[in-house]
């Protein structure tokens, strides 16, 4: 894109990088500077008039105009005038004036008239970093069909968007934007965004191809892989067989069997080395145990902060925590990161760099147990390949229920029954210590009651340095665990049958789903109780009737609007002004075709 110095400066001031982005900065309103021969009440209007008299009072100026386009006189009123305003109105002078027509008791006035030089057009008004008139002139001379076409937008979309910047009569009749205009804006917004994402994707030669078959290995497993696990593995198989280094994200729901996809990937890579980084020692340990059990003929090692310095060259599969980043690592043809959102981009890139060889890169797989809206997954494919695993190996039997203070007695009875069956119960509190602002008990306030009522009560939270040890000990000996959302990801607790989430309305639906996913991991009958002081919550009621994490991610979007994928601040408040990720999958599909992203 060849920009002149002046265009570059304007782009910088507007914070944009393309003509398509300029097209998205649509007018805030329009001014009709055409002459009409009839009064338009409660609307701004232009008059062609001669000033007949000017009267100045302490708080206003009153001007009598003879309006030639109406053929009679009308009074103009300026309230709290600035000194310079008087000079615009000289008796006997003929000019064009623009103001709001208001009529009371048959008497019409022109409020806040101003002198106008641009006549006969509908002028868009902009609210941007540029002054409205400067922005208007910039758009008029630069926002052309050719410029937008050169960036790859389709003619139909261009025509719709240009109508907003080059308005005709019908735009003034509309109370709001037409459906066609909104759809075109959604299209341009996604086009700009996905083009930017695609531009960030770079291709490197892979260090080695993985051509080993996974099917013989899969036939030795004591269970059958689900169709979606197999599909994800097939996607990865295609990736690993190419000479280009793969970049893929595998997104699965809680308990969908991602571990088997991870192990299958390592098997396909043999005899080349694979490295897997997990966010916690517990998780790394679990993955290490599964790998030893299901890939008995491979040399596997676990690396944590406690592992002694050892030459890792002799191993086929290295599994570790971020302790890996402090080691000398041998080259690896495949790098995998589990629970990728728990690591920063820098940590992921560092791991990739540590095991690369010159310009050659390892194949890179990221795994996430946080389901994302399908539309978001489609958008992500602009810069990374995506596989979704939406089903679980077995149907979980979890009863979810919203409960209140009046249900506490029943809840207590339920917890006692579960503990009697040697099952475990998790109580999630919103805070560690007391707070003035939140009307729920904190862990510190509540723990005394539970410790008095039950044996083997364990307590942990995010700031607890011992949390991994506490969780491991709880898994073996505990009855009740009191925690914050720290347990949202990670440890497998086979005996956990019940989770109680206090102040559930304060958490995002995806977090609630993650917490619910902790129970019934091994086919136990599970229970999830959402404790709230709110009389009713449509959001929570919808949640208890939905079991798919992907549907929940969509619901979460509807309630919170999605966050910014590009900058990674995916909390709430969207970088999309027009696009609704919960609704606009069709538009994403069209844009993908246009950008040739498959």
Lowest mean pLDDT among 42-46, 213-217, 594-598: 594-598
Given this model, what pLDDT does residue 560 score? 63
Nearest to 276 by CA among 232, 234, 315, 225: 315
**H helix or E strand, kind and range, residue 162:** helix 155-165
Contact status, residue 37 vs residue 69, Cβ threshold 8 Å: yes
- Residue-wise pLDDT tens digits, 274-300: 999 998 888 899 999 999 999 999 999
Strands 363-368 and 247-252: parallel
**String of DSSP letters for 450-465:** HHHHSSSEEE--TT-T
**String of DSSP letters for 318-382:** EEESGGGGGS-PPP-SEEEESSGGGS-HHHHHHHHHHH-BTTBB-EEEEEESS---HHHHHHHTT
Contact status, residue 401 vs residue 528, Cβ threshold 8 Å: yes
The model's confidence at residue 160, banded by pLDDT at 50, 70 and 90, is very high
- Residue-wise pLDDT tens digits, 242-260: 999 999 999 988 778 899 9
Contact status, residue 142 vs residue 8, Cβ threshold 8 Å: no
Kindly report the three-state secondary structure assignment for every residue of 163-224. HHHCCCHHHHHCCCCCHHHHHHHHHHHHHHHHHHHHHHCCCCEECCCCCCCCHHHHHCCCCC
Instruction: Name residue, tokens 């002694």.
Output: 308
Given this model, what pLDDT does residue 265 score? 96
Tokens of 458: 């364990």
Contact status, residue 35 vs residue 156, Cβ threshold 8 Å: no
Given this model, what pLDDT does residue 220 score? 93
Q: How many CA atoms lie within 13 A of 293 on its CB side?
A: 10
Residue 540 DSSP symbol: H
Lowest mean pLDDT among 29-33, 303-307, 594-598: 594-598
Nearest to 554 by CA among 580, 589, 588: 580
The model's confidence at residue 101, banded by pLDDT at 50, 70 and 90, is very high
CA–CA dist 71, 255 (Å, integer): 79
If you average pLDDT over residues 359-383, what whole number do you get? 83
CA–CA dist 424, 495 (Å, integer): 6
**For the chain, what are the domain ranges?**
5-31+121-176, 34-115, 215-389, 398-546
Whether the model clears a pTM of 0.85, i.e. scores above it, the answer is no
Strands of 424-428's sheet in order across: 398-403, 526-531, 496-502, 424-428, 480-483, 457-459
> What CATH number does the domain located at 398-546 have?
3.40.50.300
Q: How many CA atoms lie within 13 A of 543 on its CB side?
A: 28
Lowest mean pLDDT among 50-64, 416-430, 560-574, 580-594: 560-574
| Top-confidence residue, 361 or 490 | 361
The radius of gyration computed from the CA coordinates of the chain, to the nearest angstrom, equals 32
Contact status, residue 65 vs residue 97, Cβ threshold 8 Å: yes
- Residue-wise pLDDT tens digits, 491-519: 678 899 999 999 998 888 888 998 898 88
Q: Is 88's pLDDT higher than 90?
A: no
| Top-confidence residue, 84 or 18 | 18
Contact status, residue 351 vs residue 337, Cβ threshold 8 Å: yes
Contact status, residue 486 vs residue 462, Cβ threshold 8 Å: yes
Given this model, what pLDDT does residue 566 score? 41
Q: Is 567's pLDDT higher than 70?
A: no
Q: Is 232's pLDDT higher than 60?
A: yes
Q: Is 446's pLDDT higher than 90?
A: no
Task: Categorise residue 259: left if φ over 0, alpha if ψ from -120 to 50, beta otherwise.
Answer: alpha
Q: Is 575's pLDDT higher than 70?
A: no
Percent of the residues in the chain that have a pLDDT greater than 90, as a whole number: 49
CA–CA dist 448, 464 (Å, integer): 18
CA–CA dist 418, 401 (Å, integer): 16
Lowest mean pLDDT among 181-185, 565-569, 594-598: 565-569
Provide the mean pLDDT of the chain.
87
Within 10 angstroms of residue 49's Cβ, the number of other Cβ atoms is 24
- Residue-wise pLDDT tens digits, 535-566: 888 889 999 998 888 888 888 877 765 444 44
If you average pLDDT over residues 474-489, what whole number do you get? 83
**String of DSSP letters for 242-306:** SSBPPEEEEEE-TTS-HHHHHHHHHHHHTTS-EEEE-SSHHHHHHHHHHHHHH-TTS-EEEE-TT
If you average pLDDT over residues 194-204, what whole number do you get? 83
> What CATH number does the domain located at 215-389 have?
3.40.50.300
Q: Is 438's pLDDT higher than 90?
A: no
Tokens of 469: 């040890």
Q: Which residues of 6-27 are buried (b: 16+ CB within 10 A; e: fewer)?
A: ebeebbeebebebbbbbbbbbb
Lowest mean pLDDT among 13-17, 34-38, 41-45, 522-526: 522-526
What is the dihedral sign for C-alpha 179, 184, 188, 191?
Answer: positive
3-state SS, residue 108: strand
The listed CATH number (2.60.40.10, 2.40.50.140, 3.30.2320.80, 3.20.20.20) that belongs to domain 34-115: 2.40.50.140
Q: Is 569's pLDDT higher than 60?
A: no
| Top-confidence residue, 310 or 340 | 310
Contact status, residue 170 vs residue 146, Cβ threshold 8 Å: no
- Residue-wise pLDDT tens digits, 222-231: 999 999 999 9
- Residue-wise pLDDT tens digits, 392-419: 777 778 999 999 999 999 999 999 999 9
Cis, peptide link before residue 206, omega less than 30° from 0:
no
Given this model, what pLDDT does residue 341 score? 66
The alpha carbon torsion through 555, 560, 566, 569 (nearest 10 deg) reads: -130
Question: Do 34-115 and 398-546 share a fold?
Answer: no
């Amino acid at each position: 894109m060849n920009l002149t110095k002046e265009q570059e400066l304007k782009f910088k001031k507007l914070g944009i990088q393309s003509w398509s982005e300029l097209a998205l900065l649509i007018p805030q309103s329009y001014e009709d500077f055409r002459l009409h021969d009839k009064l338009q009440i409660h609307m701004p209007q232009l008059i062609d008039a001669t000033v007949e008299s000017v009267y100045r009072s302490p708080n206003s100026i009153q001007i009598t105009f003879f309006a030639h386009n109406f053929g009679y006189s009308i009074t103009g009123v300026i309230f709290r005038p600035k000194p310079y305003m008087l000079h615009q109105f000289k008796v006997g002078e003929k000019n064009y004036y623009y103001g709001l027509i208001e009529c009371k008791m048959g008497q019409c006035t022109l409020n806040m008239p101003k002198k106008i030089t641009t006549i006969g057009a509908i002028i868009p008004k902009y609210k941007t970093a540029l002054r409205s008139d400067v922005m208007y002139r910039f758009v008029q001379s630069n926002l052309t069909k050719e410029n937008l076409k050169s960036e790859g937008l389709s003619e139909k979309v261009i025509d719709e968007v240009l109508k907003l910047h080059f308005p005709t009569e019908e735009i003034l009749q509309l109370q709001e934007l037409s459906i066609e205009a909104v759809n075109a804006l959604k299209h341009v917004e996604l086009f700009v965004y996905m083009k930017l994402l695609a531009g960030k994707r770079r291709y490197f030669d892979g260090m080695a191809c993985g051509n080993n078959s996974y099917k013989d290995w899969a036939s030795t497993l004591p269970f059958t892989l689900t169709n979606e696990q197999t599909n994800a593995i097939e996607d990865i198989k295609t990736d690993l067989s190419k000479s280009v280094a793969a970049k893929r994200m595998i997104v699965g729901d809680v308990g969908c069997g991602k571990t088997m996809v991870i192990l299958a990937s390592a098997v396909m890579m043999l005899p080349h080395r694979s490295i897997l980084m997990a966010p916690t020692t517990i998780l790394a340990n679990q993955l290490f145990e599964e790998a030893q059990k299901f890939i008995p003929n491979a040399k596997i090692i676990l690396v944590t902060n406690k592992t002694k310095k050892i030459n890792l060259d002799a191993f086929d599969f290295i599994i570790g925590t971020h302790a890996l980043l402090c080691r000398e690592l041998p080259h690896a043809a495949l790098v995998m990161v589990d629970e990728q959102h728990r690591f920063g981009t820098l940590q992921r890139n560092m791991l990739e760099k540590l095991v690369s060889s010159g310009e050659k890169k390892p194949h890179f797989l990221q795994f996430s147990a946080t389901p994302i809206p399908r539309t978001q997954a489609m958008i992500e494919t602009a810069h990374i390949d995506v596989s979704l695993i939406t089903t679980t190996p077995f149907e979980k039997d979890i009863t979810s229920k919203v409960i209140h203070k009046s249900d506490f007695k029943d809840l207590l009875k339920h917890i006692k029954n579960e503990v009697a069956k040697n099952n475990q119960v998790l109580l999630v509190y919103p805070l560690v210590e007391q707070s003035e602002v939140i009307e729920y008990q904190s862990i510190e306030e509540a723990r005394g009651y539970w410790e008095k009522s039950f044996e083997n009560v364990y307590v942990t939270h995010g700031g607890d340095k011992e949390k991994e040890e506490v969780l491991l000990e709880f898994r073996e000996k505990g009855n009740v665990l009191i925690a914050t959302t720290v347990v949202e990801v990670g440890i497998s607790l086979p005996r956990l049958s019940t989770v109680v989430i206090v102040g559930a309305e304060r958490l995002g639906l995806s977090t609630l789903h993650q917490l619910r996913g902790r129970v019934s991991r091994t086919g136990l009958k599970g229970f999830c109780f959402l404790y709230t002081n709110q009389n009713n919550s449509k959001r929570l009621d919808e949640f208890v009737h939905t079991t798919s994490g992907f549907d929940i991610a969509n619901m979460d979007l509807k309630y919170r609007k999605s966050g910014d994928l590009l900058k990674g601040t995916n909390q709430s408040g969207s970088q999309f002004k027009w696009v609704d990720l919960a609704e606009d999958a069709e538009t994403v599909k069209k844009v993908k075709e246009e950008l040739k992203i498959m």
